């Protein structure tokens, strides 16, 4: 069974997720937990002494989760007690400036492997290797190139005085010769309008980073000149084939087109590292929420107003598929703020469904929206709530269970405690209905074959688990990979000692993968 301490922590975390800090006090907690106030105070003080909670010495005293605050603000708290919420907020908001890839949302999650490969590529002796960022429009390729330059400066790979030179090749699509001339430089008289010598962008990027966006717009001649430079670090100015010039810069390319189709094979062979940048939809719900939060926070600072969004806007933004990815999401939020600002006459900016651009509004099912409870929510509501810690603790507990005659009982208790934690902390009622319905169809086939029954509550529990796993796919799979041998040994044990149950589990897994595209 879930302990009282765990129940208190879950309840406090839930209230903090809803920005209801004023309810994190003994009287309210004892009422909701149906425990005596003295018992709750004793438990709160024990958790405080264990440094799991901090105190806000208001009237009444508030108890807040240290881990929740430190995770949300990415900062260690300096004290166990604060005079007021204002004092705590002042400390939390006085953060040190984030550096290079720390600014990239998902740098420790979906983008982690990409970031690590970028770091290794730019650090490769003597001056890094050319790399190509490939992905749909609006996925943040230009932003990542700029962060790569900052990383090189911060780690001493390049001097801070060296340049980050960015060129969008699509701007020269109708005049590729001009792009070649600007890139490599030209001699006076090389073509009409060349009134003086120009050393070109490769010269100005020497020692720094040259970023060529939409590289598929480069013509064959320019690609050939570039792969000579990538091979040997030398190039000719346009109009001067007698003298060789040298430059040592790290080159980053980016394209929205399939590289193998859009670029010369000889050119591609000079690019040893090609990284595929995921779309917004592929990065998961938590990262989308964090992006929404950051963009709206930026607008809040820009217009100097507190932003509130309607629950309908929250759902529409979260569930809408943005073809233009992060770029389109940014534009949508800015356009909505502009529309809302026109009607605002106070220190608060309220964003409603009618403030959204036409492309979003046209996707609204008005009849279903009318049936939903409408309320305004603060931006803190957008901060993603992750149950990754609960899931990872659950996995760790499973592989730690001793494999003896008591295994089945201990495993069952571990599973029960996990679901109690999930359901106790679940504030997304109704969001897993579609999963439950799918599972019911799957289990109707499986139970008929194997001859057993499942209750509706068991299906809800499984649906909840699948939902939480999907939201934290990267982190959970990363944990599984890190503990590969232990997981493999557990599966071998289950297959040997509980063969029928193991086969049922395999069948469920196959059904999920084939019918729901869920690889659990």
Residue located via tokens 């982690």: 112
281-382, which class in CATH? Answer: mainly alpha
Task: Parse the chain into domains and list their residue ranges.
Answer: 4-93, 111-276, 281-382, 388-516
Q: Quote the tokens at residue 364.
A: 């609204």
> For position 20, what pLDDT does the model report?
83
pLDDT at 15: 87
Residue with tokens 């962008």: 201
Q: Is 382 exposed, middle or buried (0-12, 13-18, 19+ CB in 10 A)?
A: buried
| Angstrom distance (rounded) from CA 176 to CA 219 | 6
Q: How many angstroms separate the CA atoms of 179 and 17, rounded?
A: 51
- Give, for all 520 residues of the chain, the pLDDT tens digit: 678 888 899 899 888 877 788 889 999 999 998 999 889 999 999 999 998 999 998 778 999 999 888 877 777 788 888 888 878 887 877 655 678 998 999 887 789 889 999 999 999 999 999 999 999 999 999 999 999 999 999 999 999 999 999 999 999 988 888 999 999 999 888 887 778 888 899 999 999 999 999 999 999 989 998 988 998 899 999 888 889 999 999 999 999 999 999 999 999 999 999 999 999 988 877 788 889 988 998 998 888 888 999 888 888 888 888 999 999 999 999 999 999 998 888 888 999 888 999 888 777 665 555 445 467 877 866 665 445 567 888 888 899 999 999 999 999 988 888 887 766 555 444 456 777 888 888 888 888 888 888 888 888 888 888 877 776 666 677 788 888 899 999 999 999 999 999 999 898 888 887 776 667 7
Q: Kindly state the helix (H) or strand (E) to which residue 368 belongs, with its residue range.
A: helix 366-371
Strand, helix or coil at 378? strand
Q: Locate 258 and state its tokens.
A: 């399939």
Sheet holding 53-56, edge to edge: 62-65, 53-56, 81-82
How far lies 207's CA from each of 163, 248, 392, 493, in Å? 8, 5, 44, 57
Q: Which residues of 254-291 are buried (b: 16+ CB within 10 A; e: fewer)?
A: bbbeebeebbeeebbebbebbbebbbbeebbbbbbbbb
Tokens of 214: 């939409």
Angle among Cα 307, 310, 311 to the nearest 5 degrees reads 130
User: What does the alpha-carbon distance between residue 224 and residue 270 come to, in Å, rounded to a whole number?
Assistant: 11
SS3 for 107-121 is CCCCCHHHHHHHHHH
Residues 6+ apart with CB under 8 A from 31: none
205 with 141: CB under 8 angstroms?
no
- What fold does the segment set 111-276 form as a domain? Rossmann fold (3.40.50)
Q: 165 and 252 in contact (C-beta within 8 Å)? A: no
pLDDT of residue 255: 97
161: helix, strand or coil: coil
| pLDDT, position 371 | 42
What's the gap between Cα 119 and its chain centre? 19
- Residue 149: per-residue pLDDT: 97
Q: What is the pTM of this model?
A: 0.62
- The 10s digit of each residue's pLDDT in 224-273 is 989 889 988 999 998 888 899 999 999 999 999 999 999 999 999 999 99
- 4-93 fold: Arc Repressor Mutant, subunit A (1.10.10)
């Amino acid at each position: 069974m879930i302990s009282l301490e765990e129940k208190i922590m879950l309840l406090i975390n839930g209230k903090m997720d809803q920005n209801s800090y004023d309810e994190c006090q003994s009287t309210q907690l004892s009422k909701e937990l149906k425990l005596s106030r003295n018992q709750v105070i004793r438990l709160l003080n024990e958790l405080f002494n264990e440094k799991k909670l901090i105190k806000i010495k208001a009237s009444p005293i508030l108890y807040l989760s240290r881990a929740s605050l430190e995770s949300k603000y990415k900062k260690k708290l300096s004290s166990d007690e604060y005079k007021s919420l204002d004092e705590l907020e002042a400390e939390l908001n006085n953060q040190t400036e984030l550096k290079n890839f720390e600014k990239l949302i998902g740098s420790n999650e979906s983008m982690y492997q990409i970031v690590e490969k970028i770091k290794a590529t730019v650090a490769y002796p003597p001056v890094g290797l050319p790399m190509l960022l490939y992905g749909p429009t609006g996925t943040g390729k230009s932003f990542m190139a700029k962060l790569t330059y900052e990383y090189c400066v911060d780690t001493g790979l390049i001097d801070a005085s060296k340049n980050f030179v960015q060129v969008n090749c699509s701007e020269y699509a109708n005049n590729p010769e001009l792009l070649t001339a600007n890139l490599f430089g030209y001699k006076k008289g090389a073509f009409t309008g060349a009134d003086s010598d120009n050393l070109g962008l490769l010269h100005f990027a020497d020692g720094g980073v040259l970023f060529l966006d939409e590289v598929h717009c480069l013509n064959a001649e320019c690609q050939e000149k570039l792969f000579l430079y990538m091979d040997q670090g030398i190039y000719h100015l346009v109009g001067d084939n007698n003298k060789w010039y040298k430059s040592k810069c790290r080159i980053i390319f980016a394209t929205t087109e399939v590289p193998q189709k859009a670029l010369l094979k000889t050119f591609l062979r000079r690019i040893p590292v090609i990284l595929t940048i995921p779309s917004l939809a592929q990065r998961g719900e938590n990262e989308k929420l964090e992006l929404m939060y950051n963009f709206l926070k930026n607008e809040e600072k820009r217009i100097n107003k507190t932003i509130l969004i309607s629950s309908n806007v929250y759902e529409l933004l979260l569930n809408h598929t943005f073809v233009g990815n992060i770029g389109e999401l940014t534009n949508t939020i800015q356009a909505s703020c502009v529309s809302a600002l026109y009607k605002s006459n106070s220190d608060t900016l309220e964003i409603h469904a009618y403030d959204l651009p036409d492309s979003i509004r046209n996707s609204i099912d008005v009849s279903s929206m009318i049936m939903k409870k409408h309320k305004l929510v603060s931006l803190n509501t957008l901060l993603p709530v992750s149950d990754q810690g609960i899931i990872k603790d659950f996995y760790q507990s499973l592989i730690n269970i001793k494999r003896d005659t008591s295994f089945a009982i201990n495993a069952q208790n571990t599973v029960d405690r996990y679901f109690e934690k999930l359901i106790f902390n679940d504030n997304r009622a109704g969001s897993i209905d579609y999963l439950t319905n799918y599972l019911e169809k799957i289990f109707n086939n499986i139970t008929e074959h194997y001859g057993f029954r499942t209750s509706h509550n068991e299906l809800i529990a499984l649906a909840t688990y699948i939902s939480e796993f999907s939201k934290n796919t990267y982190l959970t799979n990363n944990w599984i990979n890190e503990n590969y041998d232990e997981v493999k040994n557990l599966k071998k044990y289950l297959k040997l000692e509980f063969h029928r149950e193991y086969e049922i589990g395999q069948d469920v897994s196959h059904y999920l993968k084939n019918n729901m595209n869920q690889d659990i």
